[in-house]
Structure 1
Amino acid sequence: MSASIAMAESSRSSGHALLDGAQTAWDMLSEEQMQRHITTGCEELDTILGGGIHCKAVTEIGGIPGIGKTQLGIQLAVNVQIPVQYGGLGGKAVYIDTEGSFMVERAHQIIEGCIADLFENFEHRKKESLVCPDILQPNSFLANIFYFRVCSYTEQIAAVNYLEKFLEEHKDVKIIVVDSITFHFRRDFDDLAMRTRVLGGMSLKLMRFAKKHNLAVVLLNQVTTKFADGSFQLTLALGDSWSHACTNRIILYWNGNERHAYIDKSPSLRSASAPFQVTSKGIRNVTSNCKRVRMM
């Protein structure tokens, strides 16, 4: 009898240990309402995203080559560093480059555009930059982007595994960008069942990082063709099962000569599309007087 009681007590105590991290739904709502977002640089795109890219979430951004995926990835790695007093997160970025698309010269251009906009929008804060000369300097922004170049899927897996330790040592990292999540797994991985399992494990790990460290994970994805309804159609790579690995899914596409972003999947955001443009300064609003945001 005493042995049974001891086992029950042990079971209860282990159950309490498992539930130590439980939250109430009220706490979750309060956290979400207080959460700051990472601006994309385009007001209309921020609007349909509910303020920008969400922390504590994995966001997939996909589209055809040349649509602006890497440009948006670099822009987010820059914008996450906007100081808190300027309305930003004041964080740092991890950029995992699988394709060799990251160009430091382009990052420098985007940083200069970001700083110019901040000076323009926060004219009254210019004195702060004189008192603290490092607060808004291109070199400081570049020093806060931790760049990892990976050349195979094994290196990609190793880089994600290494992030567990890296994030513990760099608690001010507020975004992880993977550009792209797809590249090596499409070229070098023949076993599709194994690929699905490996990618599933990687996405769960990235989701855990997002939740634990209160950061945003942005996964850039390529497109592929899919045969459906008697014709070939463009779709994001890695198949239908991968679409469930992310919290939010954004598809970038051309509408005539304009670039648009469409929210394809989200548990909290309505389906909507908004135009954006890639300028010398980075991702910006489309210069037009007519409002183009469309809600579905």
Structure 2
Amino acid sequence: MATRHVSRLALDPYLRDHLIANNLTTARDVLLLSPLDLMELLGLTWTAAHQLLADVSAQISPPYSTAYDVFTQQATAEAPAPLRTGLPTLDGALRLGVPVGSITELVGPGGVGKSQLSHMLALAVAMPEALGGLGAGVVYIDTERKFSAPRLQEMVHARVAEAAAAAGPQAAHVLQPLAVQGEVLRRVAVSTPGSTEQLMQTVENLQHTVLQYRARLVVVDSIAALARTEYGNPSSSGASGSVAGGGGGLVGSIMDRQQVLGRIAASLKALAESLRIPVLVTNQVTTRIGGGGGGGPGPPGSAANGTLTAALGAKWAHCVNLRLVLQRLQERRFLKVAKSPSCANVVLEYVIGPTGLQEVPRHESELPPVLLQRGSVLDMAITNEVDYGAEL
């Protein structure tokens, strides 16, 4: 809320213009000043300066609503619909798709399909409405340089081909892949921050970017890459189950990292709630040695008892509303709802095709038993097989 642009505040036009002229572009910039500062900058009286601070503070403070008001808002036709993933089992479990107004996290080892699903959801938003999309913009924050315009182009061509096949020969000539491709690619705004400081600045300015591109989805791929590089990785300390020690070194770095991630999560949540859009983030995995988790045979703390868990720790896990775990068992890939306030423990198998993730119809009894066990909401071990350690 504090990052709301001054132009979107209900203020006197004279004051609004002078605030922007003095490089006070967000509510936070204004609230960091004292009444004396505002009197000097804007030529206000003491009373007017106090009133300006009170007005700005009141407009960015989260308002209270009754449970009935929340229910009515969510039930009205004007409320934004969830974003469909195209995976029938998942959309059914999530009540039609990825929820708006909250953070959805994709967790999994490298190469399992997190970026593929991110591209797929971006396409679902950017495709024209006539082809089943929302015809809206997407803001894609790419911290790992994994965004692939050619892959998005391939998905567009596959979707157009499917639509042409369904429409029949009479309407097929109307669908022009190159025109649709250009339309979709122009709707996706890509940012590539190279540090956590740049990522923080990008997130704080997201509201302006979202409004500029009429975006209905924000993707951060990935939330962990820069933070783990700059602030260290708890699993690298060699501690068993958790990191121990004093306030300096690795522990101090992790505390700094958690503080930065908390600020980023707060900004993303405020954006999602105020603009009623879904925010999708991807996360990496780390190996937990010992400390429980139901590992394989071997004494506690041994390599045979290691498990893969979502990176960034329990504090970050509390920041996300919905966690989807993608994992690979031998040659098969699975997606599991690991954390959700309203969804049961759902597992589905998928393959990666021309249009992205495609669900494999399969009865639940055919799924590996390890996938049907619900783990800790805080730890969320994504598999008990240590073989994945080589992929970290």
Partner of 1:224: 286
Does 189-198 or 202-211 show the bigger shift?
A: 189-198
Count residues in correspondence: 278
Match for residue 100 of structure 1 among 125, 136, 145: 145
Once the two structures are superposed, residues 216-267 of structure 1 have per-residue CA deviations (whole angstroms, 9 ceiling, x without a partner) of 1001000001122323210010011110001101111124422111111111
Q: 1:140 aligns with which of 183, 186, 192?
A: 183
- SS of 2:218 mapped into structure 1: strand
Shift of the alpha carbon at 1:291?
A: 3.6
Match of 1:5 in 2: none
CA contact (8 A) 2:141 2:219 kept: yes
**Is 1:162 paired with 2:242?**
no
* Counterpart check, 1:22 vs 2:84: no
Bigger relative contact order, structure 1 or 2 (CA pairs below 8 A, ≥6 apart): 1
Match of residue 216 from structure 2? 174
Corresponding residue for 1:208?
270
2:93 pairs with one of 34, 48, 60: 48
Structure 1 match to 2:342: 268
2:194 equivalent in structure 1? 151
Structure 1: tracts of 5 or more residues without a match = 1-9
On the 8 A contact 2:94/2:342 being kept in 1, the answer is no
**Counterpart contact for 1:134–1:140, Cα < 8 Å:** no
Q: TM-score, normalised by structure 1?
A: 0.83
Query: 1:268/1:136 Cα in 2 relative to 1: closer, same or farther (>3 Å)?
Result: farther
The answer to whether structure 1 residue 282 and structure 2 residue 356 are counterparts is yes
Deviation, structure 1 residue 87: 4.9
C-alpha separation in 2, matches of 1:146 and 1:71: 17
- The change in CA–CA distance for 1:126 and 1:29 in structure 2 (over 3 A counts) is farther
Counterpart of 2:359, as a letter, is: N
**Amino acid of the residue matched to residue 218 of structure 2?**
I
RMSD: 2.9
Aligned residue number for residue 384 of structure 2: none
1:57 maps onto 2:57 in alignment: no
Greater C-alpha Rg? 2
Moved more, 246-255 or 30-39: 30-39
Distance 1:105 1:115 in 2: 15
Query: How many angstroms apart in 2 are the aligned matches of 1:135 and 1:109?
Result: 11
Q: 1:164 deviation in Å?
A: 2.7
CA pair 271-123 structure 1, distance change in 2 beyond 3 A:
farther
Shift of the 50–154 alpha-carbon distance from structure 1 to 2, 3 Å rule, reads same
**Residue identity in the other structure for 1:21:** P
Aligned equivalents of 1:41, 1:116: Cα separation in 2: 16
Maintained 8 Å contact 1:38/1:89: no
Mean CA deviation greater in 239-248 or 252-261 = 252-261
- Structure 1 pair 20/79, CA: closer, same or farther in 2 (3 Å)? closer
Preserved CA contact (<8 Å) 1:119 1:125: no
TM-score, length of structure 2 as denominator length = 0.64
> Quick one: which of 209, 226, 231 aligns to 1:189?
231
Return 5+ residue gaps in structure 2 as ranges.
Answer: 1-50, 233-252, 293-299, 375-392
Distance 2:163 2:260 in 1: 41
Q: Deviations over 1:102-147 (max 9, x none)?
A: 11111101122223334445669949x94x9799711100110000
Matched letter for residue 197 of structure 2: T
- Specify the code of the residue in structure 1 equivalent to 2:349: P
Aligned residue type for 1:200: G
